Amino acid sequence: MRIFKKKSTPLPYDKMNKKPIIKASICNGEQVAGFKDIHTGKIEEIMLIKNEADLDTFRKMYGIEGKIEKEY
């Protein structure tokens, strides 16, 4: 049993070469949060976004502030 809660620090990502993005499906509306390489365009999928709470979790995990771009 823990008495003290461990501080959560944001996970690092390469801010110079990658940007956070939400990949959304036109057909069924499924959304996946991840990072897009700005040089190659390759998307690294991190987690499925089912609701606003999942998006908040993604933001907190990586310390992302501001709006995240959607790509269809």
| Residue spans per domain, the chain | 18-71
| Region class of 29: left (phi > 0), else alpha (psi between -120 and 50), else beta | left
State how beta strands 43-49 and 31-37 pair.
antiparallel
Amino acid letter at 19? K
pLDDT digits (tens, 9 = 90+) for 4-53: 666 567 888 889 999 999 999 999 989 999 999 999 999 999 999 999 99
68 by Cβ neighbours in 10 Å (0-12 / 13-18 / 19+) ranks as middle
d(CA 26, CA 53): 21
Q: What's the pTM?
A: 0.81
